[in-house]
Amino acid sequence: MNSVLRPAVVLLSSLGLGLTASAADWVESSVAVKAGYDSNVLAYTDLAPAPLHEDSYFATGSLTFVGDVKKAADLGAAWKSSKLSLLAEATRFENAAEENFESYRLGYATKWESGSDAVTADASVVRINGSRDTYSLAAPTNAFGLPVWRERRSQWQERVRAQWVHLGETRGWRVTGSTAIFDMKTIARSGYVPFVDRSDSSVWAESGFKQGPGWLWLGAQLGAQKQGTVPLPGCEFDYSNSYRRLSLGWAGKPFANLKVSFVGGPDWRRYTGNVNPAVFTHRNRQTWWFDADATYDLSASWQLTAKVSRNRVVATTGKSAYDDFTAEGGVAWRASKTVQWRLSGRAQQAKYFPAVRTDWIGGFSTGIDWAVSPRLKCGADVTWQYAWSQLQPVVGRDFERTIVALRGAWTF
């Protein structure tokens, strides 16, 4: 989307919500607040000097509007849902004012069904109004520390996804198209961490076969990843690529209280960018990818979840790509109709190439959700993280971080 048009789209959409005479009938609004403490705002090692290793209290406030387009336009029974949303949010840090930022999100999601066919689509534009500066390369950083403050930097994000599904009695078909674009607005300066533009677009076609309590899916995916370059010496390389993936997957409920989904297969890539020939001699690479998750209901009150995935992506700092492996699990307990407790654990690895780097992060999060009334919801969360480098004797890439927060939301 043209950067000149983005603010106009957001403004016109918000005006459309506000000026409709009967908006009260189809627009729902809510306000949310969160306040807490972050022990390591920039996710740097304890060895880093202040202000890189800084703790701070923080506060976040947001305002959300959700418009039910189906109700406003009387779209008919085939349209199961059609909603337009607008979110405005601001975050402030007491001891790290340079990390203050605002974010604005305009989104649209819809679902249409007729007989055995269904079409879903969602699109969003996100504007993050934050600092355009980054931090010095002199301080060691972990691969999972960079995204912590990258997501507070000035940027645009655009995502679009659409899917058509046909499910017959024994055969099915699915076609999915998606694109994600990240347009960074940070300043490139020698000796400072660079951030580059990135994008990932693909189309995926699958054929399904009814197998007992679930569906077996066979498919093929074509895609392309783009990685920008930084206009600085030594940053002229990029690992943009085109990829082809085959997929074999199954999704269903083998038991009444167990829901399972998995998909994976071979991944072939040709790196079409300006690669560094000194360290990257073969443009064609093959690997494996997968994505699986499961949900198990122990009882009406207890639920277990698990997820594992492996994918190949281009690095946000340019000049490299990496394999991302993630494993997580959780438990949820619904103590009553209004109170729920959650506990989850997560481990993630980033294995870079052609750069020699393998970083890890692990941790847990726990929280409680309380629906005080149909309009008022409150909660509390505690998150602990520890990151390290697998390569020895590399030092300075480890960090520890604890976040404690209280939150509340009111729906008008």
Render pLDDT for 328-345 as a digit per residue (tens, 0 to 9): 999 999 999 999 999 999
Q: Return the DSSP state at 8.
A: H
pLDDT for res 278? 86
Helix (H) or strand (E) holding 70: helix 69-73
pTM surpassing 0.85?
yes
**What is the mean pLDDT of the segment spanning 19-25?**
57
Domain that holds residue 24: 5-411
Query: Is 263 in contact with 176 (CB distance < 8 Å)?
Result: no
**What is the mean pLDDT of the segment spanning 257-277?**
96
pLDDT for res 22? 61
Helix (H, G, I), strand (E, B) or coil at 143: coil
Query: Is 162 in contact with 132 (CB distance < 8 Å)?
Result: no
Render pLDDT for 375-393 as a digit per residue (tens, 0 to 9): 999 999 999 999 998 876 6
Give whole-number Cα distances, 249 to 127, 246, 287, in Å. 35, 10, 17
Render pLDDT for 397-410 as a digit per residue (tens, 0 to 9): 899 999 999 999 99
> Can you give the length of the chain in residues?
412
Task: Say if residue 396 is exposed, middle or buried (CB neighbours under 10 Å; 0-12, 13-18, 19+).
Answer: middle
Query: Is 390 in contact with 143 (CB distance < 8 Å)?
Result: no
Render pLDDT for 124-133 as a digit per residue (tens, 0 to 9): 999 999 999 9
Binning pLDDT at 50, 70 and 90, where does residue 54 land?
confident
Pairing state between β 171-184 and 258-271:
unpaired
Q: What is the CATH number of the domain that holds 246?
A: 2.40.160
Residue 213 has pLDDT above 90, yes or no: yes
Render pLDDT for 138-182 as a digit per residue (tens, 0 to 9): 777 888 998 998 999 999 999 999 999 999 999 999 999 999 999
pLDDT for res 73? 86
Render pLDDT for 348-360 as a digit per residue (tens, 0 to 9): 999 999 988 899 9
The percent of residues in the chain predicted with pLDDT above 70, rounded, is: 93
Rg over CA atoms, the chain = 23
pLDDT for res 21? 41
Residue 293 has pLDDT above 50, yes or no: yes
Render pLDDT for 90-105 as a digit per residue (tens, 0 to 9): 999 999 999 999 999 9
Report the domain count for the chain: 1
**What is the mean pLDDT of the segment spanning 227-256?**
93
Residue 57 has pLDDT above 60, yes or no: yes
Q: CA 204, 209, 211, 214 torsion: positive or negative?
A: positive
Helix (H, G, I), strand (E, B) or coil at 360: strand
Binning pLDDT at 50, 70 and 90, where does residue 47 land?
confident
